[in-house]
Amino acid sequence: DQQVKQNSPSLSVQEGRISILNCDYTNSMFDYFLWYKKYPAEGPTFLISISSIKDKNEDGRFTVFLNKSAKHLSLHIVPSQPGDSAVYFCAASVGDYKLSFGAGTTVTVRA
Partner 1 sequence: NAGVTQTPKFQVLKTGQSMTLQCAQDMNHEYMSWYRQDPGMGLRLIHYSVGAGITDQGEVPNGYNVSRSTTEDFPLRLLSAAPSQTSVYFCASSSTAGVLAKNIQYFGAGTRLSVL
CB 71 within 8 A of CB 22: no
**Contact partners, residue 108, CB within 8 Å, separation at least 6:** 10, 11, 12, 13, 85
19 CB-contact burial (10 Å; exposed 0-12 / middle 13-18 / buried 19+): buried
Which positions ≥6 away from 40 have C-beta within 8 Å? none
**Least spacing, CB of residue 46 vs partner 1, in Å:** 5
Shortest separation between residue 61's beta carbon and partner 1, angstroms: 19
Q: Is 83 helix (H, G, I), strand (E, B) or coil?
A: helix
Site for partner 1 in 34-73 (CB under 8 A): 34, 41-46, 49, 51
Instruction: Identify which of residues 15 and 58 has a Cβ nearer to partner 1 in the complex.
Output: 58
Q: Which of residues 70-109 bind partner 1 (CB under 8 A)?
A: 89, 91, 93, 95-104
Identity of the residue, 44 or 64, whose beta carbon is nearer to partner 1 in the bound complex: 44
Residue 102 C-beta: closest distance to partner 1, Å:
5
Contacts to partner 1 by CB under 8 A: 2, 4, 6, 9, 32, 34, 41-46, 49, 51, 89, 91, 93, 95-104
